Structure 1
């Protein structure tokens, strides 16, 4: 009986140890599964995150415009020609050409432009295209076609870093204000001078002529020395006047002059 009890007790302890081992193995397996799931979540990202969704393109950088400065423009070159020659090098924006003279001449039908331009500014939508165009075209012939009127002229182009179109608008507005202010100053100066001379003339016309001494006294006469004549000179020197010229032969024969 005692031996049977020992066997039962020993078997009970073995079963308990086996159950504990099985529980430990199950816990280890659960831990491993949890670790694998965590790794997969880290690789795939949480649900609803950008990593779990389909990959999208990176956001594109904003396009910054650039401005080119044209320091020389040949005769007959206008905004239309500038657009036609620069359009192949990039998308253009605004174009401004500064005329040489503000006064416009009369234009004949089919003739050259009435205004000759001295300099200009051309805006490109992308500053990279503007830099590339300035690098390629500076010093190159304007027109490749042999019949073009600009084939003998070369580009004089410079890229203006950090220059934007509002800067040009501010500069032109400032120049117009300076020109208008100078014109107003010149007109005001001319009006002042004209008013001064008009006032002096009217004042002198109203005032009586000034006389010295007695107003009833007649005005003095002025004597001027006259240059002596030739007769007076000969008389002064007590010399007889020169004899009359001798008569010619015809006068002697025909008696002309008697």
Structure 2
């Protein structure tokens, strides 16, 4: 090594010399690692920017608009990722109607929706461009005169929507369980009331029958008197009296 004769051996120990020689390979190693880090970081930054997405809230969805139609209309302006539309459950309506020989399914109606754009700036631009603007299309299109109601949700991510929907589902499940338990309590209370009244009625009937038996055994007057037919002996005892009365009547006539 050419620089060894120039080193002053009196000013330091061998450990110091090794320490002075060590930074040379380490600096080269650091430069290599820095170059690799810069390459890796440079490749990651565009991915973060590319996958930074934005969510737009739709407060009104026309009747009959399906997720496919909504996706097709919004894809004309910017690429769209995930979508969620809140379905309206209408009671008392038959969704299936027979038309000729085939079965026609009535499309669901939606009240609101959330759309995730692949780029955040596209979401902002679409919300600013289409809000309160007619949906357009052909004049005969059923959605031609409807207006867009869009709002960009700042600092809102798709995970927030998932958490909100799961929370609402849990609340609905808990509410349903409470209603079922309340209905069971009412049914059990009604059943217990009927059984208690039935037991009281049987107990009262039994007590009344026991009281009547006690009065009859004590020799008291019977509450009911039934008419009975005369016996044969009673009829024979009455016949001589009838004949005697007849004879007395005849004697009184001819005397």
Considering the TM-score relative to the shorter chain, is it more than 0.5?
yes
The answer to whether the Cα contact below 8 Å between 1:130 and 1:159 also exists between their aligned partners in 2 is yes
> Residues 102 and 184 (structure 1 numbering): CA distance in 2 closer, same or farther, change over 3 Å?
farther
The answer to whether the Cα contact below 8 Å between 1:95 and 1:121 also exists between their aligned partners in 2 is yes
Measured in 1, the distance between the counterparts of 2:89 and 2:123 equals 28
Q: Deviations over 1:16-65 (max 9, x none)?
A: xxxxxxxxxxxxxxxxxxxxxxxxxxxxxxx9998xxxxxx996362210
Larger Rg: 1
Measured in 2, the distance between the counterparts of 1:87 and 1:140 equals 17
What is the number of residues matched between the two proteins?
164
User: Corresponding residue for 2:71?
Assistant: 83
> 1:87-126 maps to which residues of 2 (within 5 A)?
87-101=75-89, 105-108=94-97, 109-110=103-104, 112-113=106-107, 115-126=108-119
> Residues 150 and 112 (structure 1 numbering): CA distance in 2 closer, same or farther, change over 3 Å?
farther
Measured in 1, the distance between the counterparts of 2:132 and 2:81 equals 23
2:55 is equivalent to residue 67 of structure 1? yes
The SS at the match of 1:89 is coil
User: Corresponding residue for 2:128?
Assistant: 135
Measured in 2, the distance between the counterparts of 1:102 and 1:169 equals 24
The answer to whether the Cα contact below 8 Å between 1:68 and 1:159 also exists between their aligned partners in 2 is yes
Alignment gaps of 5+ in structure 1: 1-46, 51-56, 218-258
Corresponding residue to 2:165 among 172, 177, 180:
172
User: Corresponding residue for 2:144?
Assistant: 151
The answer to whether the Cα contact below 8 Å between 1:85 and 1:143 also exists between their aligned partners in 2 is no
If the length of structure 2 is used for normalisation, what is the TM-score?
0.57
> 1:1-80 maps to which residues of 2 (within 5 A)?
60=46, 62-63=49-50, 64-80=52-68
Measured in 1, the distance between the counterparts of 2:173 and 2:104 equals 34
Question: Deviating runs (4+, > 6 A) in structure 1?
Answer: 47-50, 211-214
| Cα offset, 1:105, TM superposition | 4.7
Measured in 2, the distance between the counterparts of 1:157 and 1:184 equals 36
> 1:228-243 maps to which residues of 2 (within 5 A)?
none
Measured in 2, the distance between the counterparts of 1:187 and 1:152 equals 45
If the length of structure 1 is used for normalisation, what is the TM-score?
0.57
More strand by share: 2
More helix by share: 2
User: Corresponding residue for 1:193?
Assistant: 186
| Cα offset, 1:204, TM superposition | 0.8
Alignment gaps of 5+ in structure 2: 1-30, 36-41, 98-102, 216-255
| Cα offset, 1:144, TM superposition | 2.5
